[in-house]
Chains A and B, each alone.
Chain A
Amino acid sequence: AQKVTQAQTEISVVEKEDVTLDCVYETRDTTYYLFWYKQPPSGELVFLIRRNSFDEQNEISGRYSWNFQKSTSSFNFTITASQVVDSAVYFCALSRAGSYQLTFGKGTKLSVIP
Chain B
Amino acid sequence: SAVISQKPSRDICQRGTSLTIQCQVDSQVTMMFWYRQQPGQSLTLIATANQGSEATYESGFVIDKFPISRPNLTFSTLTVSNMSPEDSSIYLCSVEGRGGETQYFGPGTRLLVL
Do these two chains really belong together in a complex?
yes
Chain A residues in contact with chain B, CB under 8 A?
33, 35, 37, 42-47, 50, 91, 95, 97-102, 104-107
By the criterion CB–CB under 8 Å, are A50 and B102 in contact? yes
Chain A residues with CB under 8 A of B34: none
CA distance A45 to B43 in the complex (A): 10
**Within the complex, what minimum Cβ distance (angstroms) separates B48 from chain A?**
7
The A interface is mostly helix, strand or loop, or mixed, namely: loop
Which size bracket describes the interface of B in this complex? 20 to 34
Which 3 pairs of residues, A with B, have the shortest CB-CB distance?
A: A45-B105, A44-B107, A43-B108
Q: A43-B107, A102-B103 are in contact. Are A91 and B31 (CB under 8 A)?
A: no
Residues on the A chain within 8 Å of B75, using CB: none
Residues of A contacting B101 with CB < 8 Å?
33, 50, 95, 97-100
With contact pairs A91-B43, A97-B101, A100-B48 given, residues A45 and B1 touching in the complex (Cβ less than 8 Å): no
> If the complex has contacts A100-B33, A104-B43, A106-B42, are A43 and B110 also in contact, measured as CB distance less than 8 A?
yes
Q: Select from chain B the residue with minimum beta-carbon distance to A33.
A: B101
Q: Which residues of B are in contact with A by a Cβ distance under 8 Å?
A: 1, 31, 33, 41-43, 45, 48, 90, 92, 94, 96-97, 100-108, 110
Residues of B within 8 A of A107 (CB): 42
Q: Which of B42, B94, B103 interacts with A105 by CB under 8 Å?
A: B42
Complex alpha-carbon distance, A49 and B90, angstroms: 23
